[in-house]
Amino acid sequence: MNVRSALEYVPYFRGRLFVVHISAALLDAAELVDALLDADALHEIGVRLVLVAEGADASSLVLRAGECEMHAALAELSLAAGEPAFARVAEIVERRQVAIVPSGVCGRYDEGSVRLAVALGADKYICLMESGVPQLDGQPIFAIPERDVEARADECSSPDDLRAAAAVCRRGIPRVHLLDGLRRGVLLDELFSEEGVGTMVHTDSYREIRPLREEDIPELLSMIARCMVDSKLVHRSYENIRDHLDSYYVYTLDGTIVGCVALYPYPQHHCAELGCLFIKKNYEGHGYGKAMCRFVETLARQQGFDSIFAISQSAVAYFRDRLHYAPMSRESLPPERRAVLEASGRASEVFGCSL
């Protein structure tokens, strides 16, 4: 876990409420202690917590919580009792204890647990399962928008879990997390990293490509500094980026900038340049770079350009083999752009495609 990234989440999570549903098969599992220690750490930083034990009996969960010295209390009524149970849970949470409550029924998305989460205004509904997380083509699905679930569920493992999680989102819970409860440290690893280790079904803008803001420029410069020193990216100053602010876009995960791209227009030549493409090292290999390239291609097309080109000496294989841009001669560039490239002395290659 990246400590710096984790610390950024602490003020964001403080005061928020998470409902954690624990599958019946996990209640007696040794690994549950690790999840409870994670939950206690969340409570210590100010997260309000409700732990729902699947079934009619939460006594083993209460015992485990006591062994972890968690500040917790049992809501004696199961959630199947409805409003009286909800009121008791709310009372425990308001006095800054972790509320433990039995669901009273079987299932991960029972009506009582979901109604409780909605009634308390939960920010997250977290399912600790006794099995692995949904996958697509053999790879874990880290995040999927609720609106995309129905179209893609049948391509994934655990389609019923994905559909049920999407239904919870539609009832007003912004994020539903499906986690392997047998994995040690799973709660903190999921919640304190941008990618996580489970599957998150979400309704909000977890992943977003947005315009660069002036207050983002110092972070952007810090992010690309090494590549500018190594001449993998053209040197850019604060003033240069500020003066061309409308050309820059950033890729964010949970509000954290993890990549950037720029679109430089040449309207008199009916083309545009894709530049300043960068993804933080820890986030490479997830398709974010390709998503940003397709994003600016769409922008260029919407702005009426006929083609787009890119100039690079370090990402030649990427543009040629991954994006399938065709090699171009320097002579085909807009004259003013060609002059800048020639003056730089860089051994860059040119690639492009029609829009």
DSSP string, 183-238: STTHHHHHHTSSS-SSEEEESS-SEEEEE--GGGHHHHHHHHHHHHHTTSS----H
Burial environment of residue 177 by CB neighbours within 10 A (0 to 12, 13 to 18, 19 or more): buried
Q: Residue holding tokens 């952007």? A: 220
Q: Could you read off the pLDDT tens digit of each residue along the chain, which spans 355 residues?
A: 555 566 667 777 889 999 999 999 999 998 899 999 999 999 999 999 999 999 999 999 999 999 999 999 999 899 999 999 999 999 999 999 999 999 999 998 999 999 999 999 999 999 999 888 888 888 888 888 898 999 988 888 889 999 999 999 999 999 999 999 999 899 999 988 767 889 999 986 677 889 999 999 998 888 888 776 665 667 888 899 999 999 999 998 877 888 999 999 999 999 999 999 988 887 787 788 889 999 999 999 999 999 999 998 888 888 998 889 999 999 999 999 999 989 888 888 999 999 9
Please name the residues in contact with 63: beta carbons below 8 A apart, sequence gap of 6 or more.
none
Please name the residues in contact with 248: beta carbons below 8 A apart, sequence gap of 6 or more.
211, 212, 220, 241, 260, 261, 262, 276
Find the radius of gyration of the CA atoms of the chain.
25
Going by C-alpha positions, the residue among 240, 244, 126, 216 that lies closest to residue 175 is 126
Please name the residues in contact with 321: beta carbons below 8 A apart, sequence gap of 6 or more.
none
Going by C-alpha positions, the residue among 165, 171, 176, 263 that lies closest to residue 211 is 263
Total residue count of the chain as it appears in this document = 355
DSSP letter (8 states) at residue 91: H
Q: Residue holding tokens 């939950």? A: 39
Q: Give the model's pLDDT for residue 49.
A: 96
Strand 256-266 and strand 271-279: the pairing is antiparallel
**Distances from the Cα of 74 to the Cαs of 28, 32, 202, 277, in angstroms?**
17, 17, 30, 52
Domains of the chain (ranges plus CATH)?
A: 3-204 (3.40.1160.10), 208-354 (3.40.630.30)
The sign of the dihedral angle between the CA atoms of 281, 284, 290, 295 is negative
Per-position b or e across 309-319, b if 16+ CB within 10 A of its CB: bbbbeebeebb
3-state secondary structure of 100: strand
User: Quick one: residue 46, left, alpha or beta (phi over 0 = left, psi -120 to 50 = alpha)?
Assistant: left
Tens-place pLDDT, residues 205-254: 677 889 999 999 998 888 888 776 665 667 888 899 999 999 999 998 87
Do 292 and 259 contact (CB within 8 A), yes or no? yes
Q: Compute CA 190 distance to the chain's CA centroid, rounded to the nearest angstrom.
A: 10
Q: Give the model's pLDDT for residue 231.
A: 58
Q: Give the model's pLDDT for residue 253.
A: 80
Q: Give the model's pLDDT for residue 204.
A: 67
Q: Edge-to-edge, what's the strand order for the sheet holding 48-53?
A: 72-74, 98-102, 48-53, 17-22, 124-129, 175-180, 199-202, 143-145
Q: Dump the DSSP string for 232-284.
A: SS----HHHHHHTGGGEEEEEETTEEEEEEEEEEEGGGTEEEEEEEEE-GGGT
Please name the residues in contact with 159: beta carbons below 8 A apart, sequence gap of 6 or more.
134, 153
Instruction: Supply angle C-alpha 42, 71, 33, rounded to 5.
Output: 65
Other Cβ atoms less than 10 A from the Cβ of 28: the count is 10
Q: Edge-to-edge, what's the strand order for the sheet holding 326-328?
A: 207-211, 248-253, 256-266, 271-279, 307-312, 349-354, 326-328
Phi and psi, residue 135, nearest 5° = -130, 160
